[in-house]
Homo-oligomer: A and B are copies of this chain.
Amino acid sequence: MEAAYQELRRRLGVVTDLNTAAELLFWDQTVMMPPTGARVRAGQLETIQRLAHEHAVDDEVGRLLEQLRPLEESLPYDSDEASLIRVARHDWEKARRVPPELAAEITRVASEAMEAWVQARAASDFESFRPWLERTLELKRRYVHCFEADGDPYDLLLDDYEPGMRTEEVRAVFDRLREVLPGLIDAAASDEQDAFLSGPFPEDAQLGLSLELLRAWGFTEDSWRLDRTIHPFCSSSGSHDIRLTTRYAEDDLTSLFTAMHEMGHGLYEHGVADSLEGTPLGTGCSSALHESQSRLWENVVGRSLPFWRWFHPRAQAAFPDVLGDVDVEQLHRAVNRVRRSFIRVDADEATYGLHIILRFELEQELLFGDLAVADLPEAWNARFREFMGVDVPEDRLGVLQDVHWSSGSFGYFPTYQLGNVVSVQIWERVREALPGIDAQLEQGEFGPLAAWLEEHVYRHGRKFTPRELLERVVGGPIDPEPYIRYLESKFGSAVAA
């Protein structure tokens, strides 16, 4: 039995090595690679991903998983061994359902469709992207048909990012937000301009200030990197090689919040227990749980008044000409302004949810309802007007703004907002466990917070489903009320005042 377990672990280790190598190749492509290297890199990635898939769905893995059932049942549910067998079985059964030819076609079309999307967005030309989106949707429906539908077919897509999450649960959370957010936005939205927020903020000073902040949160040169890219992301090859990326613009401070956001993802990966390294458990639990951590550090901490009491003098020192006369309340208010803007990634905490709910609805209608791709821009714009009360002037600022649909990532968008919701559920537990947390943030003491999150969330890696992990951490299922209380408290008084 021990030999079978070691053999399973070895085989899953090969898959993990290939997947993390592919992640590194992608990081390099985005951050370091000279552009003419793209063709060879595409071939390397295709080869490595195909081999990873072949090894992942190998018959022998299935045989070992069967053989190891008695071991799994004899061990505690949360042991490394039982968890690895359990999660690997879920992965294996899911991966086996998809014929390799379909998986390969999905990968190939995604690559071409992304290229088409880049062009289409630049030209704000939806029509040129339409056939690619139609083909991508068709492939996604074929993907769904590989599985036995015993409920909403969208459940299967959600499961790729949020194992076990059901569409009806998401809908219940989003319906509740849909009731609350418009009123909150009406009350808080402001057209006031904070002139100091447009800089100039020299890039070197932004980098220096970002690093000062990240170091206070746990960034060290021996395990982390911070590089520049166009679309920021966090990449890792396990918990000891974490790579954050950000971008700088002289006329705003977005780079700071991007750095905080990616650092939240990085802290999660960095906190996964060493014993899970080199296995499929050695990464975060789900997209929403991951996003709960990027948002907890970026928003719940990074846009809070206690945090800014610590950070304000540092920001002033970095940008004395621009921020020298701006007091901490002004700055805190400025970085929390609510606006009805078009672009999701620039959205504030109050409006963000509506951007997501719109996508959640439209992608279901595209996939399984009667919304034709040709009618999508009109549907997008009508829905946006309904949600936000403003007209989208061009598709570049509307339906073409996000990469996700071009890459076939249907089911991903809702996890962003679920992450926001979960971030505050977890934060309420943090406040109970660390009653001095506000004072700690004001003092720049982030260690207790990071340690609590590592102990209760990060170290478990992918051992548990999102539902199981949430139950362990907050004692219940996903619940929008803490998040609503948080938004109402923030935008109903302190900031909007």
Interface of A with B (CB < 8 Å)? 13-14, 17-18, 20-21, 24-25, 28, 32-37, 39-41, 43-44, 46-48, 51, 221-225, 237-238, 240-242, 277-278
Chain B residues with CB below 8 A from A48, complex form: 17-18, 21, 48
**Neighbouring B residues of A47 by C-beta, 8 Å:** 13-14, 17-18, 21
Quick one: given A18-B47, A24-B25, A48-B17, are A36 and B222 in contact (CB under 8 Å)? yes
A18 to B46, CA, bound (A): 11
Contacts of A41 in B (CB 8 A): 237, 241
CA distance A224 to B37 in the complex (A): 9
Instruction: Write the nearest CB–CB distance from A244 to chain B, whole angstroms.
Output: 11
In Å, the complex CA distance between A17 and B18 comes to 12
Docked pose: A39 CA to B241 CA in angstroms: 10
Q: Given contact pairs A20-B40, A33-B241, enumerate 12 new A-B contacts (beta carbons under 8 Å).
A: A21-B44, A32-B32, A34-B222, A34-B225, A35-B222, A37-B240, A40-B238, A40-B241, A40-B278, A43-B278, A44-B237, A48-B48
What separation, in Å, do the CA atoms of A70 and B46 have in the docked complex?
Answer: 32
Q: List 19 A-B contacts (CB under 8 A).
A: A20-B40, A21-B47, A24-B28, A28-B28, A33-B241, A34-B223, A34-B224, A34-B240, A34-B242, A35-B222, A35-B223, A36-B223, A37-B223, A40-B238, A40-B240, A40-B278, A41-B241, A48-B48, A51-B51
Identify the closest chain B residue to A15 (Cβ).
Answer: B47
Chain B residue numbers with a CB within 8 Å of A237 are: 37, 40-41, 44
How many Å lie between the Cα of A126 and that of B223 in the bound state? Answer: 32
Looking at A37, A41, A51, the one whose CB has the most chain B CB atoms below 10 A away is A37
Distance between Cα atoms of A35 and B48 in the complex (Å): 24
A37 to B235, CA, bound (A): 13
Given A17-B43, A48-B21, A37:B238 Cβ within 8 A: yes
Identify the closest chain B residue to A34 (Cβ).
Answer: B223
Contacts of A33 in B (CB 8 A): 241
What is the distance, in angstroms, from A163's C-beta to the closest C-beta of chain B?
24
- Flag if B278 contacts A34 (CB, 8 Å): no
Bound complex: CA A240 to CA B46 (Å): 18
Across the interface, A34 reaches (CB within 8 A) one of B28, B36, B39, B241, namely B241
Residues of B within 8 A of A225 (CB): 32, 34
Q: How far is the CA of A225 from the CA of B29 in the complex (A)?
A: 13
State A39–B222 Cα separation when bound (angstroms): 13
Q: In angstroms, how far is the closest chain B Cβ from the Cβ of A355?
A: 34
Chain B nearest Cβ from A330, distance in angstroms: 38
Q: A240–B241 Cα gap in the complex (Å)?
A: 27
In the complex the two chains form, what is the Cα distance from A39 to B13 in whole Å? 13
Tell me the smallest distance from the CB of A56 to a CB of chain B, in Å.
13
Give the residue of B18, B44, B223 whose beta carbon is less than 8 angstroms from that of A20.
B44
Pick from B13, B20, B51, B241: contact of A36, CB under 8 Å? B241
- Which of the listed residues A41, A46, A242, A277 has the most CB atoms from chain B within 10 Å of its own CB? A41
Q: Nearest Cβ in chain B — how far from A58, in angstroms?
A: 13
A171 to B36, CA, bound (A): 42
Residues of chain B contacted by A37 (CB below 8 angstroms): 223, 237-238, 240-241
Q: How far is the CA of A277 from the CA of B225 in the complex (A)?
A: 32
Closest to A20 in B: B44
Find the B residue at minimum CB distance from A278: B43
Q: Which residues of B contact A242 (CB under 8 A)?
A: 34
Contacts of A24 in B (CB 8 A): 24-25, 28, 44
Residues of B within 8 A of A221 (CB): 34
- Distance in Å: Cβ of A275 to nearest Cβ of chain B: 13
- In the docked arrangement, what's the CA distance between A225 and B47, Å? 24
A22 nearest CB neighbor, chain B only: B21
B-side contacts of A223, CB under 8 Å: 34-37
Bound complex: CA of A55 vs CA of B291, how far in Å?
39
Nearest residue (CB) in B for A27 is B28
Q: Could you tell me the distance in whole angstroms from the C-beta of A49 to the nearest C-beta in chain B?
A: 11
A21 contacts across to B, CB distance below 8 A = 21, 25, 44, 47-48
What residues of B have a CB within 8 angstroms of the CB of A224 in the complex?
34
How far, in whole Å, are A25 and B241 apart by their CA atoms in the complex?
13
Cβ-neighbour of A44 out of B17, B40, B43, B222 (below 8 A): B17
